[in-house]
Every structure is written in structure tokens, then in C-alpha cells.
């Protein structure tokens, strides 16, 4: 009888744990970050980016969209918008939701190539999403100061060409690099003049046992002369569960230091 009660208790606790992990996986957090850089041009005032990565099989909730509306100037998808088994209609729904916030920019992730990449490429193009495929986009303030967002193709698949993205940007100005894989930071050199790197891919380890996981927990840190922000991501891979690495999206406000 004692053994039966013991097994029953384990089953109940296991059920609560699975429910907790499921809720962590399907949360709708919008984290707010304020980042100040001495090299950020004061003439821009402030620029707010809505950053979302690793959507995978999820449909973005309306609460996340409403939280970002009228706050973000640009939307950046940090890769893994789709994966094998996700329908084109679902991807289209997510794109239209993100477009309701602000203009959308996209970099490829490894799981995006599980999808029919030609169909995804066509959908993005016809939806008006700007693909940063080893390229850069330039923004200019009324005073003539410049801000560049560079995007590279997936690093783990050997498709990244940081050199081409750098050629597409001018050497002066404020530079943001978007790379699905945060490991790109190990290839940066001082001459690249990258102030901020936005990435995802790792899911923050997704399932962390006693604080330990296969990857670092997402966050912001200084590394190799730049500021690296790695997101835990919005969706999941393999299993629809998280533990100690909650799902998240981001509103990132860039400001000049000293204001």
C-alpha cells in the first residue's frame, strides 16, 4: 500500500512538472531592454526594435503583438521562423501579425531550411519582408547620421558571409548584426565595428536541470568587443516543453550613452 501511494505521488508530481514545463514553453513574455552606447548617434533620439527568434511551430499570440504595437520602430525575426511540418498558411499568419507592428526584417536560421526554402523565400518577398541574407540595410537620421542593420545567413550550415554583409554597409555609423547563431561573435574583429549582436538558436538550453543545460541561458553580455543579446526564443524544438529557460520576445530600445 505504501508503495502504491508513493508511485501515485510520483505520478502526480510528474504531472504538475509537465504542466509547469508546458506553461514555460508557451508563455508570452515581452522583455524590455534599454541599451545605451556612446557611439549611438544622438540625432536618432531612440530606436526601438521588436526582436523575436525561434518561432518554430507557434502562432504568435495577440497579446505579444499588442504589447509591441506603437512601441517598436522595426521588427527583426532572428531565424527559425519555420521548421519541417509547419504549414505555409501558419507562417503567413505570423508574418502578417508582425507586419502590423512595424516593417519586418528577417535572417535565416537552420530550421528554416527544413521548410521549402523557395516557398518561404517567395512568401517573405511577396509579404514585403526584407531578407537580410548576408546583406545590410541603411537608415539615416535628419542630421545625416547612419545606422546599419546587417544580417547573415545561418552560421551552422556554412551559409554565413559576414564579409559580404560588411561590404554592404559603410564603415562609419552604428552597426547592429543579426545572426541566428550567437557563435558569430567569436569571429568578430575590432575592425568590424559591430556595437550590438542579436541572436537566438540556443533556446537558452530549453530544458535546464538544476540550472544546467546544453547551452547558456539567454541574456545580454559583453563579448569580444561587442554587446551580445541571445534570446531564449519564442518556440521550442523536439519537445514542446521548457524548464528554467522561459519563452520570450524582446523590445530593445537603443539610446546614446549619457542621456
66-79 confidence digits (pLDDT tens) = 999 999 999 999 99
Give pLDDT tens digits for 59-68: 999 999 999 9
Query: What mean pLDDT is predicted for residues 180-188?
Result: 97
> 159 CB contacts (<8 Å, ≥6 apart)?
108, 134, 153
> Can you give the pLDDT at residue 191?
87
Q: Per-residue confidence at 221, pLDDT binned at 50, 70, 90?
A: very high
CA-closest candidate to residue 25, choices 251, 242, 256, 249? 242
| Contact of 98 with 69, CB cutoff 8 Å | no
C-alpha distances in Å from residue 134, one per residue of 27, 88, 158, 163: 32, 24, 12, 8
| Model pLDDT for residues 242-256, shown as the tens digit of each residue | 999 999 999 999 999
> Would you say 234 and 54 are in contact if contact means Cβ atoms under 8 Å apart?
yes
Q: Please state the pTM of the whole predicted model.
A: 0.94
Non-local (6+) Cβ contacts of 231 within 8 A are: 51, 52, 53, 54, 78, 198, 199, 200, 204, 218, 248, 249, 250
Residue 244 and residue 208 in contact, taking contact as beta carbons nearer than 8 Å: yes
Residue 180 has what pLDDT? 98
User: Which residues are within 8 A (CB) of 257 and not within 5 positions of it... i.e. 6 or more apart?
Assistant: 36, 37, 38, 40
Amino acid at each position: 500500500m505504501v508503495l502504491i501511494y508513493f508511485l501515485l505521488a510520483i505520478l502526480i508530481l510528474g504531472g504538475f512538472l509537465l504542466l509547469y514545463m508546458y506553461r514555460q514553453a508557451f508563455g508570452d513574455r515581452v522583455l524590455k531592454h534599454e541599451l545605451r552606447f556612446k557611439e549611438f548617434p544622438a540625432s536618432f533620439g531612440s530606436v526601438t526594435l521588436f526582436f523575436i527568434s525561434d518561432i518554430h511551430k507557434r502562432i504568435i499570440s495577440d497579446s505579444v503583438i499588442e504589447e509591441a504595437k506603437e512601441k517598436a520602430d522595426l521588427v527583426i525575426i532572428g531565424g527559425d521562423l519555420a521548421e519541417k511540418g509547419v504549414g505555409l498558411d501558419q507562417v503567413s499568419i505570423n508574418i502578417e501579425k508582425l507586419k502590423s507592428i512595424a516593417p519586418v526584417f528577417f535572417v535565416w536560421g537552420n530550421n528554416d531550411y527544413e521548410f521549402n526554402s523557395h516557398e518561404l523565400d517567395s512568401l517573405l518577398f511577396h509579404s514585403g519582408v526584407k531578407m537580410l541574407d548576408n546583406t545590410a540595410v541603411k537608415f539615416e537620421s535628419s542630421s545625416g547620421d547612419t545606422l546599419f542593420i546587417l544580417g547573415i545567413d545561418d552560421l551552422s550550415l556554412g551559409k554565413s558571409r559576414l564579409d559580404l554583409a560588411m561590404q554592404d554597409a559603410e564603415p562609419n555609423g552604428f552597426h547592429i548584426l543579426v545572426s541566428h547563431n550567437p557563435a558569430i561573435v567569436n569571429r568578430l574583429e575590432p575592425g568590424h565595428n559591430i556595437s550590438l549582436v542579436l541572436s537566438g538558436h540556443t533556446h537558452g538550453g530549453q530544458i535546464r536541470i538544476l540550472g544546467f543545460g546544453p547551452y547558456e541561458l539567454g541574456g545580454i553580455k559583453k563579448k569580444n568587443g561587442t554587446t551580445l543579446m541571445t534570446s531564449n526564443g519564442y518556440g521550442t524544438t523536439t519537445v514542446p516543453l521548457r524548464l528554467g529557460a522561459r519563452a520570450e520576445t524582446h523590445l530593445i530600445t537603443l539610446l546614446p550613452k549619457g542621456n
